[in-house]
Amino acid sequence: MDPAELELLTQTLRKTMTTTAPGPALDTALAGLGWRELLAEFPDPAVATVFRLLGETGAHASALTDVVGSATLPYAGGRWVVWEYGAGTADAGLDEELPLRPVTAPTGDPVPLAVGRRAVGWWLLGTGHAMLALARGHALDRVQFGRPLAAFQAVRHRLAETLVALEGAEAVLAAAEDDLGALLAKAAAGQAALTAARHCQQVLGGIGFTAEHPLHRHVRRAVVLDGLLGSARELTREAGALVRSRGTAPRLTQL
């Protein structure tokens, strides 16, 4: 897939996700665009593009089950969830818009964690960029003491730190090729999205806490996705234990 084709696909997917109701309707629309065929033929750009756009647009679809299957998904804290439309959520800690239902024990075949973590990592990255765009727009438009918020150094620092975290996570996601790389990429994306949530909330101030502003939806989505397939904190500890047991740190990418 050349860059021109990828750009055209990105524009088409973005328009579809912003004009189609999330959930089953979006599943149908993605299937009509050939999402599953694209996943089979070009898995890496398909996953990166679709899941990043899900984060940027705030939409959701069952694309993750197309990637990992319909098995039970591990969740932070030793819990398990399934993606199931129509069941609602039984845990107030989960995103009420996502059809994630807690279960007591895993069922079905084991989840291919590496590909799943890369997919959720791209989703988290898109969510982080959505929050950054909201905060940046607010900083440019809002005037305090006769100056735009973007003119204040403290605001600039928060936005810059957010961008650096997101750019770093994207680099790790792009370089992830094996199980350890995917684990670290998911951890980096989760931490970057949580960093974005913290800094962007501070930039937006009180308006960011209101139900009328879209930030809270992205913050909630970031927290939930960070826990899916292992949180940033858990995965970082897991990676450290793995490196310690091996007695050496593998080269993850050629610098």
* 83-114: pLDDT as tens digits: 988 755 545 456 788 998 888 888 877 889 99
Whether 159 and 128 have beta carbons less than 8 Å apart is answered as: no
* Mean pLDDT to the nearest integer, 29-40: 95
List residues bridging with 100 in a β-sheet. Answer: 83
> Residues 192-204, buried b or exposed e (16+ Cβ, 10 A)?
bbbbbbebbbebb
pLDDT tens for 204-222 read 988 877 888 899 999 999 9
- Confidence (pLDDT) at 255: 41
CB 13 within 8 A of CB 47: no
DSSP structure class, residue 90 = S
Mean of the per-residue pLDDT values for the chain? 90
Q: What is the pTM of this model?
A: 0.93
Domain boundaries, the chain: 3-64, 73-103, 113-246
Does position 157 have pLDDT exceeding 70, yes or no? Answer: yes
Q: Which of 148-157, 176-185, 229-238 has the lowest mean pLDDT?
A: 148-157
Q: At what angle are helices 179-204 and 232-246 packed, to 10 degrees?
A: 150
Per-residue pLDDT band at 150 (split at 50, 70, 90)? confident
Q: Give the helix/strand (H/E) hosting 201.
A: helix 179-204
What number does CATH give the domain 113-246? Answer: 1.20.140.10
Question: Percent of the chain beyond pLDDT 70?
Answer: 95
Residue 18 has pLDDT above 50, yes or no: yes
For 164, the enclosing helix (H) or strand (E) is helix 153-175
